[in-house]
A and B are shown apart, each in its own frame.
Chain A
């Protein structure tokens, strides 16, 4: 990843925070914008889950990743902490790769 991209993300992330702090974002403070701001994270994170679990390039695939991610999802459902979720997903996927 290039330094330019990292610095642009940093600048953009700070821009949103500062816009709110210094009143520039006040005109965005209506219920619709607020709701979209709240709903973007689940939509985008779920998309990342879909793409990184079920695709390789432009192909839709089901492989060892799916088993690990589903196991991790169950762990989330059972309210396991982050590091447990990640560990379970990695362990299940790595084990399946070892066995196949």
Chain B
């Protein structure tokens, strides 16, 4: 956890700013989840326990478009895999009991990893990770609750254009990846594969097939891989 005196460190401010940004983003998740027939309790359990934005949005999105639970789970887990790579990186700097490291694992997402790895000193890396992770966790869940409660008051979601808000939000989530060539190829391939598959497969399956887009991009471009998003400011908000 943050050491005494760390209040003066710039990463504390960064962590709080990133947290607030993700909180606003989480309001969107809350609204979209309850408009896709999740209860407020289910929506909250997702943000508390899943706590990785892209997976949460994908699962809810697949369900909203009529997909089966299996395809929703599959899409969510494919999106959550990269947190494992972040965790490998962060495990070099996070020490302590099994419980403490188990908690660190839950907080390992794009934002906390990016905030941590933006530091140079090993102790600063750990502290920036913890400050950012806790800040995002708190804001993400408060935002989800606000969105879920507010979303219940909305009558017909489609009359408000919420069905277009979903995919537009996904574009926002990919904004960071779209700034790399490999990311653009992966996105274009996934987009095309999904559209071609729609007439021939059951709902949700086109999303899983689109995972092949990542392989296409890998075959065409050898991406330069960093341990996390280069800078939190460069990326779309939300634990994506």
Q: Which of A29, A40, A81, A88 contacts B79 (CB 8 A)?
A: A40
Closest CB-CB distance, A94 to chain B, in whole Å? Answer: 4
Q: Which of B72, B162, B186, B213 has the most CB of A within 10 A?
A: B186
One of B9-17, B114-122, B187-195 at the interface: B187-195
Determine whether the beta carbon of B190 is less than 8 Å from that of A14. Answer: no
Query: Taking the complex as formed, is B172 at the interface, i.e. its CB lies under 8 A from any CB of chain A?
Result: yes
Query: Taking the complex as formed, is B232 at the interface, i.e. its CB lies under 8 A from any CB of chain A?
Result: no
Determine whether the beta carbon of B81 is less than 8 Å from that of A16. Answer: yes
> A residues within 8 A CB of B2?
none
Name the residue on A nearest B103 (C-beta).
A21
> B residues within 8 A CB of A36?
214-215, 218
- State the CA gap A48–B209 with chains docked (Å): 11
Q: How large is the interface on B (under 10, 10 to 19, 20 to 34, 35 or more residues)?
A: 35 or more
Query: Taking the complex as formed, is A2 at the interface, i.e. its CB lies under 8 A from any CB of chain B?
Result: yes
Determine whether the beta carbon of B83 is less than 8 Å from that of A17. Answer: yes
> A residues within 8 A CB of B61?
48, 52
Determine whether the beta carbon of A21 is less than 8 Å from that of B164. Answer: no
> A residues within 8 A CB of B162?
90
Determine whether the beta carbon of B194 is less than 8 Å from that of A50. Answer: yes
Query: Taking the complex as formed, is B149 at the interface, i.e. its CB lies under 8 A from any CB of chain A?
Result: no
> A residues within 8 A CB of B52?
13
Closest CB-CB distance, A89 to chain B, in whole Å? Answer: 3
From known contacts A25-B84, A44-B190, infer whether A76 and B206 are also in contact, taking CB-CB under 8 Å.
no
Q: Which of B73, B87, B223 contacts A19 (CB 8 A)?
A: B87
- State the CA gap A37–B77 with chains docked (Å): 11
> A residues within 8 A CB of B36?
1
Name the residue on A nearest B222 (C-beta).
A35
Q: Which of B59, B101, B164 contacts A53 (CB 8 A)?
A: B164
Query: Taking the complex as formed, is B150 at the interface, i.e. its CB lies under 8 A from any CB of chain A?
Result: no
> A residues within 8 A CB of B3?
none
Determine whether the beta carbon of A40 is less than 8 Å from that of B82. Answer: yes
- Contact code string A2-24 (vs B, CB < 8 Å = 1, else 0): 11111111101110111111110
> B residues within 8 A CB of A37?
81-82, 84-85
Closest CB-CB distance, A69 to chain B, in whole Å? Answer: 5
Determine whether the beta carbon of B77 is less than 8 Å from that of A22. Answer: no
- Contact code string B56-91 (vs A, CB < 8 Å = 1, else 0): 011111111110010011011111111111111111
Closest CB-CB distance, B38 to chain A, in whole Å? Answer: 5
> A residues within 8 A CB of B65?
51-52, 55
Name the residue on A nearest B75 (C-beta).
A44
Closest CB-CB distance, B203 to chain A, in whole Å? Answer: 7
Can you offer 7 A-B residue contacts whose CB atoms are under 8 A? A7-B49, A21-B87, A43-B190, A44-B211, A52-B64, A65-B163, A85-B168
Question: Which residues from chain A sit less than 8 Å from chain B, CB to CB?
Answer: 1-10, 12-14, 16-23, 25-26, 28-29, 31-55, 57-60, 64-65, 67-69, 71-73, 75-76, 79, 81-83, 85-95, 97
Question: Which residues from chain B sit less than 8 Å from chain A, CB to CB?
Answer: 21, 24-25, 27-28, 36-38, 42, 45-46, 49-52, 54-55, 57-66, 69, 72-73, 75-91, 94, 101-102, 104-106, 108, 158-175, 177-178, 182-184, 186-195, 198-200, 203, 206-207, 209-215, 217-218, 222-223, 225, 236-238, 240
